[in-house]
Amino acid sequence: MTTPTVPGTPAVPGATAVPGTPDVPGTPAFPSAPGTADIPSMPDAPGALGTADTPGTPDVPGVPGAPAPLVRFERRGHVAVLTLDRPAVRNAVDSALAAALGAALTELDRDPALRVGVLTGAGPVFCAGADLKALAAGGVVHDPDHEEWGFAGIVHHPVRTPLIAAVEGAALGGGLEIALACDLVVAAEDARFGLPEVTRGLLAGAGGLIRLPRLVPVRAAMEAALTGEPVSAATARQWHLVNRLAPPGHALRAALELAERVAAHAPLSLQAAKRLVRAASGGTSEDELWRVNAELSARLLASRDAREGMTAFAERRPPVWHGC
């Protein structure tokens, strides 16, 4: 069996097609109207999205009685940093965190000034996966108002903006599935990746058993799925599951450096490239890929940014992108 080595996703429910073209499996529409949900606009300084009164969460400094954000949202120029913030439970996902992350991703796509998102976790662990205590109590690990977004508000979320995972510590079970939903992964050298669901009588049903075999050798994916044993960051790098390694404690810093390199380029070109790569790795037919390739190429060629890019090249100066 031959598997592609580029990240891919199955068809995403709710993705909007490019006008005049059918949906391409696994890819959000390009371009489309900003936003997919009616959420409050974000401040320019680090802020909160989708806060919930979670037991054990500290109050927001300076706001007595207010719950701390479950996902912190910070703008750094053209890059947004999204931080899962339940360190007391190793950033395990419950419905409130899923709603917060889904809202943060929506805001990322709605803001035309943001070109790249970096997703990380507070504390020493990226994400330990689903909150099993919440599940055992009858809870869910998706946003009840947006079930179409899937686990953690991300695994089926049609995000146009390139997304980089910055992994410290462990990305296990649903934590790995969150990383697999991202476009690039930067990991600390002591990070670990795994799908331990079989050790709990569960299934890695949030994309782990679908996306992992598209990224790594099939037998490697099968071993990870059947043994439930985690692999080192070095092994994940050899498998091309991880793009870059960083010293322990510096995954976010390295991810931001990568994000800045990506964010230096034309926003519409980035979105189109992401869409086409995901479609190509998701099983879309060759004829359909070439048709969509031609559609996107024509749209970009007619854009203001394409004219700016060519003019800047001729004038030997850095381009100034407008996102249109």
Query: What is the three-class DSSP state of 234?
Result: helix
Distance of CA 81 to the CA centre of its chain: 11
Beta strands 163-167 and 79-84 are unpaired
Crossing angle for the helix pair 218-227 and 208-215, to the nearest 10 degrees: 150
| Longest Cα separation, the chain | 63
Provide the 10 A C-beta neighbour count for residue 2.
4
Crossing angle for the helix pair 304-314 and 286-301, to the nearest 10 degrees: 70
To the query of whether residue 308 is one of the catalytic residues in this protein, the response is no
To the query of whether residue 295 is one of the catalytic residues in this protein, the response is no
| List 107, 147, 177, 257, catalytic entry | 177
| List 147, 197, 223, 260, catalytic entry | 197
Please identify which residue in the block is written with the tokens 């070095």. 234
Q: What is the DSSP string of 127-174?
A: B--B-HHHHHTT--SS-TT-GGG-GGGTTT----S-EEEEE-SEEETH
**Residues acting as catalytic residues:** 177, 197
